[in-house]
Structure 1
Amino acid sequence: MSGVTLFMADEQAMVDFGARIAEVTEGRGVIFLEGDLGAGKTTLSRGIIRGLGHRGAVKSPTFTLVEPYEIGDKRAFHFDLYRLVDPEELEYMGIRDYFDGDALCLLEWPQKGAGILPKPDLTITISPQASGRSLNLLPQGSRGEAWCVALALEFK
């Protein structure tokens, strides 16, 4: 599979799709979220994290770089690398430790960490449209391909 493009009509559709991503991934893997400011990356992240069972607020980690979530036996890390000046800064924060084990890592602005970040299972590029958002899902391996197949069947 080379990828799939899906359309989300509104914010609730993005949140619902995020919840479905949480189910499909079973709370494990690496997902890159790309798109301009205001595209909906944090909204989709909120849906994913709530889909894992988190009931509190899901805020953008723009100033902290990472927001951890412990949800029962699942762990999720939501990164926002927008304010990152140099990818080497990630080494100082011990970025590689976040990718060890069975956690789900969501990374907004992954291009800011080029050369340091691991290869994602899935890259989702979000583009605003006249009435909603277009999501291009690009798998980066067998796990990402399986996720795309499952998501495409339901949301086409």
Structure 2
Amino acid sequence: MMTLPSILDPLFKTGTAIQEFIAWKNKLDGKGKLLIIEMQNNFRYLQMVSKKETDLDKVIHEITTGQYKQLLSEGFRFSSVAKGKIKKAESLKGTSLAGWAGKDSLALLHSLYSRVEELIIKYPYTGTAEKYNWTLRVNNILRLTMLLLNHQRK
């Protein structure tokens, strides 16, 4: 099981995270809602992998960045979805997320999707290669998602 900064720990509970995704989605109009739904679905699949309820092999083809890519191609203003800077929190200090404190949430959103895209592209071809620690990569994507979700709930 992955370790989380205390500020994010409640979000790893599926029901809590999904409620927060729904609240975030309800604040948005149109296409932004579709992006949040995509993030929510990816979160569910990756959380099942992290909790060892299923293998990445079984869900990798369900994980998608299609909505994100579509919105990129349309010139969508992602700043309408990810606003402001990530707040500093004591529990982030000394973690892999500490570097995000004070940075723009929009950069976090793009980084998150870049990592998901890398997972989608590489895993089917390198899943058994020892140099890739897919469990760690899945957990890092989940941490970034929860950091963004926590930021948006404020």
What TM-score comes out, normalization by structure 2 length?
0.29
Larger relative helix fraction: 2
What TM-score comes out, normalization by structure 1 length?
0.29
